[in-house]
Amino acid sequence: MIAKLKRHRPDNYQNEMTPEEALVAIGILDAINVLERAVYKCFQTMKKENAQQHANREMWKEAVEILGRLVLLAVDYDKLDLKNSRTELKLEIPVSSEAGEEIVFSSYRDSAPKLTTNLSRDRIYGKNRINSHWPESGWDSQDIIQAIKKDIWKKIFRFSDNEPPDFIDDYKTGVLNRRIANKNKRKENIYISISSSDDHNFLRNNDIFAMLKQELPALYTVILTIDKDTASDTVFILAESDLEACLFDFFDHKPE
C-alpha cells in the first residue's frame, strides 16, 4: 500500500505544494471531517435507540481503525527512508505532535496508527506509546531503569488492576522483552518516546539509554527531532497543525 502512495516531485521541491498535492491534502481533511460527522450521527441514532454500551465501544473501535488507515495518506513518503528504517529499533522522526509521531512511526513499521486520547482530550497520541519523562526517581541509574521498566510493565499488562512488581528482576525483564517482541511482530508496536529538546530526560544520558536497550532490546525508540515552536520542515503533505486539529474534532465524539 505504501509504495502506491509515494508521490514523485521535482528535484527543486522545497515546501511548496503543487495544485494536485493541495487537493489531496484538503481531501484528507475533508475525509476525516466526513468520518467525524458520520460517527456523531451514528452515536446520536444509537442513543435514541438505547444501544448498549458495548455496541458504542465496538462502533468507536471500528471508526478509529478507519481513521488510522486514513491518516496514513497524509504522510509524505518521499521523505521517509522506509527501506533502511523498517528494521531499525531507533528512529528519528521530525514531527511536532504526539499524534504525528504515531502516524509517521506507523508508516515506518508498515502498520496502521493506533491513536487514542487522554481523559481530558487535550492530547492525542499512540496507544502503545511510552512517555519517557518521569518524575524524580533518584539519581542511581538502576533506580531509573527500574522506573522505566515499571512504566512499560503497566503498558504491557494494561488489563491488570495490580501495580507492577516492586522489583523487576532479570527473569521478569526477559518476560517483558519477549512480550514486546511478540507485540511488535503483530504490529502492536511498543515504543518509548524521547524528545531531543527535553534536556531533563534520563534517556538523554547515553549510559542509561545503553542500559535500557541492553535489557530490553526489542523496545523501539522514537526520537522527536523537531521542537513544536520551531518546526520548519514537515513529513506530511499538509500542515501538521491542521491534521491534529481535525483529529481533536474526531476524538471529541469518543464515548464516555
Give the DSSP letter string of 211-225: HHHHH-TT-EEEEE-
Nearest by Cα to 103 from 129, 130, 85? 129
**Residue 151 forms part of a structural domain:** yes
Q: Tell whether 256 is covered by a domain.
A: no
**Residue 234 domain flag:** yes
What lies within 8 Å, CB to CB, of 55 at 6+ separation is: 46
Q: Name the residue range of residue 194's domain.
A: 2-251
Say how far apart CA 62 and CA 57 lie, in whole Å. Answer: 9
Q: How many CA atoms lie within 13 A of 189 on its CB side?
A: 29
Q: Is the pLDDT of residue 229 over 70?
A: no
Tens-place pLDDT, residues 2-41: 333 333 333 333 345 565 565 566 689 999 999 999 999 9
pTM value is: 0.82
Number of domains present in the structure of the chain: 1
Please tell me which residue, 253 or 23, carries the higher pLDDT value: 253
Q: Is the pLDDT of residue 136 over 80?
A: no
What cell was used for 70? 486514513
**Confidence band of 117 (pLDDT split at 50, 70, 90):** very high
